[in-house]
Amino acid sequence: MFAAAATLAAAALLVSGCGFGPGSQEGSAELIVSSDYGRQVLVEQTLEDLTESETALRVLDDSAEVKTRYGGGFVQSVDGLEGGTEAGRSLDWFFAVNGIVAERGSAEFPVNAGDQVWWDYRDWTDAMDIGAVVGAWPAPMTGGYDGEVWPVNIECAGDRAACETVRGRLADENVDATIQMGLGTSPEGSLRFIVGPWAGISADEESMKLTEKPARSGVFANFEESGGDDTLVGLNEVSEPVQDFGPEAGLVAATRRGQGPPTWIVTGGSEAGVEEAASALTSADLQHRYAAAVIDGQIFSLPLP
């Protein structure tokens, strides 16, 4: 009787994911370790032997020399690159899983097969709160975040051609997306792509963030009106305007409010700029970038150096 009960209990524990050792899981994950907003890649590798107990910190610790603080909950240094203050600027390690900057500690954040974990050492003095980045394309749409995968909606505020390009790029990654004309048409809880020229999308609550400084928007770019056109201006890490890309440039950026799904913004000063931005929705063009400015097929990482 006792033996049967013990066997049943053991079986229940095994079914509920219990067991000795770290366990194992099928599939692989991707780890990127970089500095300066992804400009310098230090480690990039595919993690094949994933365990059931994998966390964002454990995958980093497997691939680099890590030192932590505050009871192991905060990464202080990776391969000797240590967080702290340098010439009055604050630098630390941040991580994003599938392009979403985690709101939980890395030691508590589980990593599953298919996830992309990106650790970046950056100056956060002017932008502590960056909710989402574009460098993990297409992981936010294919893998979701923290066990949740959202439906994808494209809100079209300009020419349908650019929206079709966005849908095509998503389809290339096996993501089904619905195009809806007009802003704010996506159902609650869906991942939004806002596609259209800046003049058409600037009234949207999420897009409107771009009118503010990176400290609030999390994006090192904004649009300025010049001679009746909206011109894209790229900022550097200290939020200073560095380059005027002009009205023909496009912008791909991601934002996130609270704990909901991210919003991707595909825009430009003109329809041509939007088309440029939509065409840049590929892994090759977006990898290791927080946001991207596109002009004449050339991609610029934001913030600018």
Partner 1 sequence: MRQLSPLAYVPRRGTLQTASLGSVGLFLGAYLVICFLSSDPMVLLAATAGAAIAGYGCQADRAVRFSLRLGAFLAVSMIVINAIVTSRGATVLARLGEWPILGRVDITAEAIAAGAIIGFRAMGTMVVIGVYSACVDPDRILRAVHGVARRSALTATLISRLVPLAAADQARLSEAAELRGPGATPVGRAAMAHRLLSGSLDRSVDVAATLELRGYAQSSGRTRFNREPSRFDTRFRVVGAVLMFAAITSLVTGAGEFVQYPEIEYSPDLSSIGLAAMFLLAGFTTWRRGGRQNAR
Binding residues for partner 1, per CB under 8 A? 13, 16-23, 51-53, 55, 57-58, 61-62, 66-68, 71-73, 107-108, 110
CB of 290 to partner 1, least distance (A): 26
Measuring CA to CA, which residue among 221, 228, 231 is closest to residue 255? Answer: 221
In the complex with partner 1, the residue whose CB is nearer, 68 or 282, is 68
CB of 68 to partner 1, least distance (A): 5
**Which one, 70 or 296, has the nearer CB to partner 1?**
70
Rounded to a whole number of angstroms, the minimum distance from the CB of residue 70 to partner 1 is 9
Least separation, in Å, of the C-beta of 75 and partner 1? 9
Q: Which two tokens stand for residue 126?
A: 């002017």
Closer Cβ to partner 1, 62 or 229, answer by number: 62
Least Å distance between CB 150 and partner 1? 22
Tokens representing 28 are: 């692989």
**Cα–Cα nearest to 152, from 290, 261, 256:** 261
CB of 260 to partner 1, least distance (A): 20
Residues 267 and 221: beta-carbon distance below 8 Å:
no
Dihedral (CA of 4, 9, 13, 19) sign: negative
Q: Which is nearer to partner 1, 54 or 123 (CB)?
A: 54
CA distances from 11 to 5, 8, 25, 63, 187 (A): 10, 5, 19, 34, 41
Residue 16 or 46: the one with the smaller Cβ distance to partner 1 is 16
Strand bridging mode 177-181 / 221-226: unpaired
Phi, psi of 203 (to 5 degrees): -80, -15
Closest C-alpha among 117, 97, 143, 106 to residue 44: 117
Tokens at 134, concatenated: 């574009």
Q: Which is nearer to partner 1, 57 or 101 (CB)?
A: 57
